[in-house]
A = this chain, B = another copy of it.
Amino acid sequence: MKLDQITDGELSILQVLWEEGEATTRKLTTALYEEVTDSKMATVQKLTERLEAKGCVERDRKKRAHRFRPLVSHEQFLHSRLQALADRLCDGTLMPLITTLLQAKGISRSQRKQLRKLTSDLWPTRDTDTKTSK
């Protein structure tokens, strides 16, 4: 599954599939283009064909109009992209990404709370504040 070679157009296809769960060529075309023409349909077919070749999509050929389903989740894809970033910029380490993100502005109070809960759940060690209810 070649996640790093996913093209921008292919990604758009995947995003529709993530939202819809599965879709036909027509449904994809409708979602992605203003007007559905033969050539737009062909474009979508080419993109799904390439996605299938890359192992990111499966095709159900039972019916005339094939149904496509994603073989990669949104989370998997995001993780892959983050890892690629880390590989290129941080010797493969994820920590710099995390610290950069935490230092970024725009983390609201409720989001901080959410993060604290997440970390407590993930790493239930003794020195983590487990008695949040005081």
Contacts and interface: CB of A to CB of B under 8 A. Distances in A.
Interface string A95-120: 11111111110110101101110110
A104 B97 CA distance: 12
Copies in the complex: 2
A127 interface: yes
Interface string A63-89: 000000000001101110110010011
Contacts of A95: 107, 111, 114
A114 B99 CA distance: 10
A132 B127 contact: yes
Contacts of A60: none
A100 B82 contact: yes
Contacts of A128: 116
**Chain A: number of interface residues, binned into ranges:** 35 or more
A114 B31 CA distance: 44
A1 interface: no
The 6 closest A-B pairs by CB, nearest first: A129-B129, A98-B101, A78-B100, A112-B123, A79-B100, A94-B101
A77 B89 CA distance: 9
Contacts of A85: 78, 81-82, 85
B74 A89 contact: yes
